[in-house]
Amino acid sequence: MRKLFLLVFLLLLPLFAFPEGTRTWEQSKFDDLEKGTAKGVAIRSEGGLELAPSLKPIYTTPSTYIWAIAGDPQGNIYAAAGAPARVYRVMPSGQTSIIFQPQELQVQALVVDAGGALYAATSPDGKVYKIVPGSAPAAQASSEASARNAQQPDKAKVPVDAGYTSSVFFDPKTKYIWDLAEDAQGRIYVATGDQGEIFRVEKKGEHSLFFKSDEAHIRVLAFDPHGNLIAGSDGSGLVYRISPAGEAFVLYSAAKKEITALAIDKVGNIYAAGVGEKRGAALPGVVPHPTVTSSPTITVTTGPSAGAGMQIMPQTMPMNIPFPAMGATGGSEVYQIAPDGSPRRIWSSREDVVYSLAFDQRGQLLAGTGNRGRMYVIRDAGSFTDLVKASATQVTALAQAPNGGVYAATSNLGKIFTLGAAPDSDGTYESDVFDGHIFSRWGRAEVRGGGPFDVFARSGNVDNPDRNWSPWKKIDFAKGGELDVPPARFVQWKAVLHPGKPNPAISGVLINYLPKNVAPVMEEVFVQSGARFQSSPKPSGPENITVGSAPPPQRFESTTPAVRDRESIAVRWTAHDENDDEMVYSIFYLGDGETQWKLLKDNVTDKFYSFDASLLPDGGYAIRVVASDAPSHSPDEALSSAKESSRFEIDTTPPQVVNLNAAWDNNTLHITFRALDGFSPIKRAEYSIDAGEWQYVEPVGQLSDYRVENYDFLSALPGEPTKAATEVASAVPVRVKRGRRAAAAADPPIGAQEHVVVVRVYDRFENMGSAKFVVRGR
């Protein structure tokens, strides 16, 4: 076992740093880098930084939510929004207009067909509308546009495009419409809620029930390369494959309750995002989280002018609307279902909720998430990149854009962005603030990476860099990489990555520093008489090692209990070192009336010590414990501090019993003796006659509070009444029945008998002294 421990320690030794001398702060792991602030810089799950593709805002809508986004060959962008419910068009020139304003509260889904017609689905109690450009007479369109513009508040005024008209294309007569999809023949498939139905609508509007699920909601739709419709449900988190003939097969039952997004690549791999918890089977290795609800309801209000140019009015009737996955907690998972049907989980997060999935120009899977507005690239191997962060809460929709880019739409706030195919400007990354815990000198920086980048550093003595820190100073690696920043408690580094060849990448940054040595702090010293500590086995390897780049952690110290032992003295103390240096302790004692501390024990590494009380004469003492950080520093740099205990007393010598005497006084024994102790007061005295039970006896004067006490009392023999009891009994007439007991009372005393009187006394420290006396006759 010892050999195994040694082998494990030797293997781990390069990962540890001992807590003395120069220390290092390193950031290379994803969990560490994620704490920093990235702008145009992506963070890889394996650790490291790289330039992110550009994320440019296109338009901020007056609506709170954007649920779907699509583009056409002319470069127009269409966004389906809610609160207020609208379909926006953003032209390549940047000009924006409203092309549809329904009476319902949300435009939930959107499809643009090959001919340029738009299909927009609304909720709740919604319909599928067909929106066509250039169909309305100019005068009528202009009048309708003017009326709608007049109903819009100034702060949300967006022109209404008079060139678009809308009509009801299909009414499913159901509560919710969640998604739309178009097949190769131009037919529209409608995913609905409350009844879990999918409808198929022909180009001319004829419709039929295509699939009926036993789930409450069909949430998302997508087509695979073979023309099968893939559908995700809310309830049991099912992924269906439905043939063109309407024959359905459950491909996978996810560990999550709701499938929020689907994406299918060219070879037929299906990617599905799941959120919310359910009870049921999970993929191997999936750890269940606490149950959450994935589709909470949010109260909004509808005004009397709902319809074209709908307003959100504060003094109107509330209506509860479920928002898909909005507010879900417990994180989410992304699954890959291979063409042969085998599933596996490729990504999970306890914080981020996936709302949308799509592919970029290189075929990488993009995931739009909330509620931190982040977008990730997820790779098949399970690795990922934290790509960009939008200035909104949720990334709710993704769609292909021209020139290899991707459109991204957000909610809270309702914005539209373009994610470029490559970076087009510098990216910056500011690390988390590092706390050295004490005043430190900052040394050389070491950076692993390549390509064009610069690294800067700054320091300060408060944890907020905005409060008078030193300015950013560029680190010159050609001159050794020294940090030209003042000594201080806190430090921070910044990387600026520049576009170029090769592409810049930083896999890790390490900063060397030397904390100023401060003396250990002795907090308290406790002394307990009549106790000792049991020795505990120590590990054979080195203790208190500091892991990697983290600041020195608090040392783990087990509590060793003291056991009762009246012949020992136990000393325990508490101490800490701000440098987390290894400490050694020396123990001194000082007796009453003495002026110099004497060494009791040195080179103690534990924070407790016990010793034989008889080593010190009876008397009052104090203990001083001196803590030194000498094991972690050279002799001229070592520091120490001391703490003294409260006064305590040692008394190991038993008291004496002198002048013990016993004599007959009528039928009772008159016993006298004196108790003496050289240091502490007599606590109590007891006596026994002829091995009878011990009887407590009070001293003359009753109060036992001095080192010398006198005792003088009368006692009957065991089984006989005392003189006082006899006197009380004689004063009360009692009729005595004749018999053997009465005859015994009249018997004459037994002559020439021998009795043994034993006395024992205790001092305040429970030391005991005793004596005996033999009395004959009576």
3-class secondary structure per residue, 550-562: CCCCCCCCCCCCE
- Please state, in angstroms and as integers, the Cα–Cα distance from residue 553 to each residue in 18, 19, 113, 546, 549, following that order: 12, 9, 61, 7, 11
Question: Is the CATH number of domain 18-52+426-515 2.60.120?
Answer: yes
Distance, in Å, from the CA atom of 245 to the CA atom of 247, rounded to the nearest integer, reads 6
> Look-up: residue for tokens 């000082």?
590
**pLDDT value at residue 559:** 65
Inter-residue contact 188 to 128 (CB < 8 Å): yes
Going by C-beta distance under 8 Å and a sequence separation of 6 or more, which residues neighbour residue 201? Answer: 128, 169, 170, 187, 188, 189, 190, 207
Q: Please, where in the chain does CATH 2.60.120 lie?
A: 18-52+426-515
For 521-538+545-650, CATH number? Answer: 2.60.40.10
Q: Please, where in the chain does CATH 2.60.40.10 lie?
A: 521-538+545-650, 656-776
**Average pLDDT for consecutive 10-residue bins of the chain (778 residues)?**
38 41 92 95 95 94 96 92 95 94 95 93 95 62 44 62 92 96 96 96 95 96 97 96 96 96 96 85 35 34 32 32 54 95 95 95 94 93 91 95 91 95 91 94 96 96 95 95 96 96 94 93 93 68 40 54 89 92 95 94 94 92 95 89 94 93 90 93 94 94 92 85 52 41 41 85 92 87
Inter-residue contact 552 to 580 (CB < 8 Å): yes
The three-class DSSP label of residue 630 is helix
Give the architecture-level CATH label for domain 55-419.
6 Propeller (2.120)
**pLDDT value at residue 579:** 85
177, two tokens = 């419409």
**pLDDT value at residue 720:** 65
pTM of the model: 0.70
**pLDDT value at residue 296:** 35
**pLDDT value at residue 548:** 38
**pLDDT value at residue 566:** 84
Burial class (CB in 10 A: 0-12, 13-18, 19+), 352: buried
Q: Please, where in the chain does CATH 2.120.10.30 lie?
A: 55-419
- Buried-exposed string 99-130: b where 16+ CB fall within 10 A, e elsewhere: bbbbebbbbbbbbbeeeebbbbbbbbebbbbb
The three-class DSSP label of residue 613 is helix
Distance, in Å, from the CA atom of 32 to the CA atom of 725, rounded to the nearest integer, reads 87
Which CATH superfamily, name and number, covers 656-776? Immunoglobulins (2.60.40.10)
List beta partners, residue 131.
118, 166
**pLDDT value at residue 753:** 82
